[in-house]
Amino acid sequence: MAGVSTFNSFICKTFSQTPKPQLISKNSIGITTKKSNSFPRKSVSVYGSNNNKTIFRTQAGVGDDDEWGTEKPQVDGEVEGVKVAVAEAELEPTKEPTEVDLLKKALIDSLYGTDRGLKASSETRAEIIELITELEAQNPTPAPTEALTLLNGKWILVYTSFVGLFPLLARGTLPLVKVEEISQTINSVDFSVQNSVKFSGPLATTSLITNAKFEVRSPIRVQIKFEEGIIGTPQLTDSIVLPESVDVLGQKIDLSPLKGLFTSLQDTASSVAKTISNQPPFKFPITSDNAQSWLLTTYLDEELRISRGDGGSVFVLVKEGSSLLTP
């Protein structure tokens, strides 16, 4: 009788077709192995399951002197003349979303198309506030100022009811300028807060930054004092792409005669961009006694933060890199 020590150390001449594996209950222990005409074969079958683990038994062997396929009994997990290998494949159970997960998803979905709250209808605002209230009732961090590591990092503003920001967001105030991002970066080591607004226009991008310090006043409240403002150096676009033509009221207008003019403008813009880019950002101190604010953190986890400020304004922020920011 010949045997093999591993699965792949035998020479295959042909393979016999084996039936489809059948799922067997964990109490059905044992494997019946048949050999036919001493041909080598290998088969894999599902043997059982236990504690979210599926057990697979792989068996391989070669024929012995019995060429008529006599059945061999199993002995301690090994069939005479056949080596049996057992492998367990871990099957992780599917994680069901919690009520908080569903609330967060519903909140993010309701913010779609609101432009951080600027374009939200009264009905949408009511729905958003209701979801926020439900999340606040299930806040997993009841004392956020005692869990400052969770507050650390860059948070992207996705919604606010603070009307003071609406003129900034409205394009009518700054023609052709778009607010790309509003964010808040918190550093609990030096108790600093940096608010940033990034703007983009047809030929340039820039940012407006305010630096502040915060003090813990209660388990959910911090006092913020603004110290410095920074206007970032504009980064001009050094290339202007002119289309071949444009459609105006259904009529196509050829722009190719203007390419020479735009080439000249492009060279000028490139020269200006290099000059301005070498200038440092413009910084100015904030010394007003009124340059203070307080903020209540009413919900906080690893990816979502809800805060309430002066006058009952609400702010919804998502941690940078979170899947909640993915459309």
Contact indicator for 118, 170 with CB cutoff of 8 Å? yes
pLDDT digits (tens, 9 = 90+) for 243-254: 666 565 566 767
pLDDT digits (tens, 9 = 90+) for 13-52: 444 444 444 444 444 444 444 444 444 444 444 444 445 5
pLDDT in single tens digits along all 327 residues of the chain = 444 344 444 444 444 444 444 444 444 444 444 444 444 444 444 444 445 544 444 444 444 444 444 444 444 444 444 444 444 445 667 788 999 999 999 999 999 999 999 889 999 999 999 999 999 999 999 999 999 999 999 999 999 998 877 777 665 455 567 889 999 999 999 999 999 999 887 677 889 999 999 999 999 999 999 999 998 887 766 555 556 665 655 667 676 666 666 566 666 666 666 666 667 888 989 887 778 889 999 999 999 999 999 778 999 999 999 999 986
Give dist(CA 284, CA 47) in Å, integer: 73
Give the pLDDT confidence score for residue 86 in this predicted structure: 46
Contact indicator for 183, 207 with CB cutoff of 8 Å? no
Give the pLDDT confidence score for residue 12 in this predicted structure: 41
Give dist(CA 18, CA 35) in Å, integer: 11
**DSSP SS3 for 322:** coil
Helices vs strands, H then E, count in the chain: 5, 17
Give the pLDDT confidence score for residue 315 in this predicted structure: 96
The secondary element (H helix, E strand) that includes residue 266 is helix 259-277
pLDDT digits (tens, 9 = 90+) for 207-251: 999 999 999 999 999 999 999 999 888 776 655 555 666 565 566
Q: Backbone phi, then psi, for 157, in 5-degree steps?
A: -75, 125
- pTM metric for this prediction: 0.62
Residues 6+ apart with CB under 8 A from 86: 47, 55, 56, 57, 58, 77
Kindly list the structural domains of the chain, giving each domain's residue range(s) and its CATH number in brackets, ordered by start.
Answer: 1-94 (no CATH), 99-233+280-323 (2.40.128.280), 237-246+254-279 (no CATH)
Give the pLDDT confidence score for residue 67 in this predicted structure: 43
